[in-house]
């Protein structure tokens, strides 16, 4: 189940609010300019290619491109047997921002987006069918867990793709990781 856990940065060990209703999650995140949505499931094999995945969601991707001006879309997939899974996990675990919106749609699997607003951190455990758009300039990080299993469609306004500006803050190291939030302790 998709879950939004809200932490105060002075008490990062304990969520003070947990939300599981998708409409309530959408409303809470919208207050911070974050777009959250759920798309209908498509029957795709685990081995589906990037082209097959983009074709299956062509209408939704086209609508986002038209409405938000995205220039590029691709698919990223990571599995527990990937030889560089720890390197990839570490790459996204530090707080950073982007100069464009970060948009992810979970075709399969799950991961946690952490969004840092003022003195609150919103940890959104995204699951299959979840779409999140993190506004440019938003302090955030992503945790895919030690045994990642996910496939996401990514959309970009910058054709160069993912470019991060790391904040240098240590907040990400003080909050519960994926394992705790996904119930895999």
Number of independent structural domains in the chain: 1
Cα angle 34, 85, 128 (rounded to 5 degrees) comes to 40
- Higher pLDDT pick, 100 / 62: 62
> How far is residue 7 CA from its own chain's centroid?
17
pTM for the whole structure:
0.94
Average pLDDT, the chain: 92
Annotated binding site for Fe(2+): 96, 98, 102, 140
- Higher pLDDT pick, 107 / 162: 107
Q: How does residue 160 score in pLDDT terms, banded at 50, 70 and 90?
A: low
Cα-based distances in Å from 184 to 12, 16, 49, 139, 147: 18, 20, 29, 25, 10
Annotated binding site: 96, 98, 102, 140
Q: Which helix (H) or strand (E) holds 89?
A: helix 85-92
Q: In the predicted model, what is the mean pLDDT of residues 31-52? A: 93
48 vs 70: CA distance, rounded Å: 23
Annotated binding site for Ni(2+): 96, 98, 102, 140
Expressed as residue numbers, the domain containing 76 is 3-181
Say what percent of the chain tops pLDDT 90.
Answer: 79
């Amino acid at each position: 189940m998709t879950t939004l856990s809200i932490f105060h940065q002075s008490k990062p060990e304990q969520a003070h609010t947990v939300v599981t209703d998708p409409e309530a999650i959408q409303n809470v995140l919208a207050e911070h300019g974050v777009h959250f949505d759920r798309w209908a499931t498509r029957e795709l094999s685990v081995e589906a290619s990037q082209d097959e995945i983009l074709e299956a969601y062509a209408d939704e991707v086209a609508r986002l491109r038209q409405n938000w001006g995205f220039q590029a879309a691709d698919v990223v997939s990571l599995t527990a047997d990937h030889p560089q899974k720890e390197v990839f996990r570490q790459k996204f675990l530090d707080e950073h921002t982007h100069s464009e919106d970060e948009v992810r749609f979970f075709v399969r699997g799950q991961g946690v987006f952490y969004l840092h607003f003022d003195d609150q951190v919103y940890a959104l455990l995204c699951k299959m069918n979840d779409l999140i758009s993190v506004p440019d300039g938003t302090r955030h990080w992503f945790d895919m867990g030690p045994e990642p299993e996910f496939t996401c469609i990514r959309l970009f306004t910058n054709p160069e793709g993912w470019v991060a500006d790391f904040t240098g803050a240590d907040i990400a190291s003080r909050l519960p990781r994926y394992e705790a939030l996904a119930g895999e302790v």
